[in-house]
């Protein structure tokens, strides 16, 4: 007996197939459930810049699973924190994004935190949601097949270490954080700067050359261009961005504005 279907995100990345993702930052269970049922390949629940604790993440895991689809819920944790990873694994999370990974040691620790000894340092519990409270007798032999580890590339040092990251067994993908990378290149708030975009494209080529999946986070016209270049872990939309842009666009609808002007005369 297993609680979850196979990790479709991990399989898409291994097959170098595009995986379209939706970024969740509002801490709304309703939004998570709707997004999980909308057809996205993966969702990203953000613990780094949104207000989440282990208990709220657990609720989102259940909300996503309630949609009854193969959409994978990944969690971006605030840092490389093996204790937090252990608790989230037990709660049923299988896919993790580790931000601001700069060194090989940090990348290896990220992987080790998701594996039991001797492959890693994950603490053991025989009765958790992850193993269906002890009912999944195959869990210890098969769990690693469904663990997905994504590390974020956000500094020039991390870009330089891409070949070394790619040699680490257990790293499934590397995703560029464009805003932090821009800041660390001296272009705070300007991820469209030519140096930033050139660095992103060069980093993508380096990732692809390692055999690992290359990822990005852009909610604009650059997304399809990067997919055409071989990026496959594609975060292309998000709840806050969609709400704010749709609200503003709706207010600017010509028919509505014309009707309001007529009624106010």
Active site residues: 49
Structure tokens at 76: 């971006």
- Please, what's the b/e burial string for 185-221 (b: 16 or more CB within 10 A of its CB; e: otherwise)? bebeeebeeeebbebbeebbebbbebebbbbbbbbee
Q: What is the length of the chain?
A: 265
The answer to whether the beta carbons of residues 213 and 9 sit under 8 Å apart is: no
DSSP three-state, residue 119: coil
Bridge partner residues of 238 (DSSP): 23
Q: How far apart are CA 206 and CA 215, in angstroms?
A: 12
Q: Please work out, in degrees rounded to the nearest 5, the angle formed at the alpha carbon of residue 150 by the alpha carbons of 141 and 58.
A: 70
CA distance 55 to 73: 15
Phi, psi of 110 (to 5 degrees): -60, -50
Beta strands in the chain (DSSP E): 19-24, 42-46, 72-76, 95-98, 148-153, 173-176, 213-217, 233-238
Measured CA to CA, the distance from residue 112 to residue 151 in angstroms comes to: 13
């Amino acid at each position: 007996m297993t609680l979850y279907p196979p990790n479709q995100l991990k399989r898409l990345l291994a097959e170098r197939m595009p995986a379209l993702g939706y970024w969740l930052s509002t801490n709304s269970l309703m939004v998570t459930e709707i997004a999980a049922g909308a057809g996205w390949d993966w969702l990203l629940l953000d613990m780094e810049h949104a207000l989440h604790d282990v208990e709220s993440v657990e609720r989102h895991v259940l909300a996503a699973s309630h949609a009854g689809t193969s959409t994978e819920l990944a969690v971006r944790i605030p840092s490389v924190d093996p204790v937090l990873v252990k608790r989230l694994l037990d709660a049923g999370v299988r896919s993790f994004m580790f931000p601001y990974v700069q060194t090989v040691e940090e990348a290896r620790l990220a992987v080790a935190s998701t594996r039991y000894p001797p492959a890693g340092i994950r603490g053991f519990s025989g009765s958790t949601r992850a193993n269906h409270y002890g009912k999944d007798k195959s869990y210890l032999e098969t769990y690693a097949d469904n663990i997905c580890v994504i590390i974020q590339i956000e500094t020039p040092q991390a870009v330089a270490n891409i070949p070394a990251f790619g040699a680490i067994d257990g790293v499934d993908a590397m995703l560029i954080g464009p805003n932090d990378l821009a800041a660390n290149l001296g272009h705070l708030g300007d991820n469209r700067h030519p140096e930033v975009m050139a660095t992103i494209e060069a980093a993508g080529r380096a990732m692809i050359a390692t055999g690992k999946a290359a990822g990005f986070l852009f909610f604009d016209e650059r997304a399809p261009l990067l997919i055409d270049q071989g990026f496959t872990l594609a975060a292309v939309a998000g709840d806050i961005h969609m709400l704010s842009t749709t609200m503003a666009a709706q207010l600017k609808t010509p028919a509505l504005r014309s009707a309001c002007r007529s009624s106010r005369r």
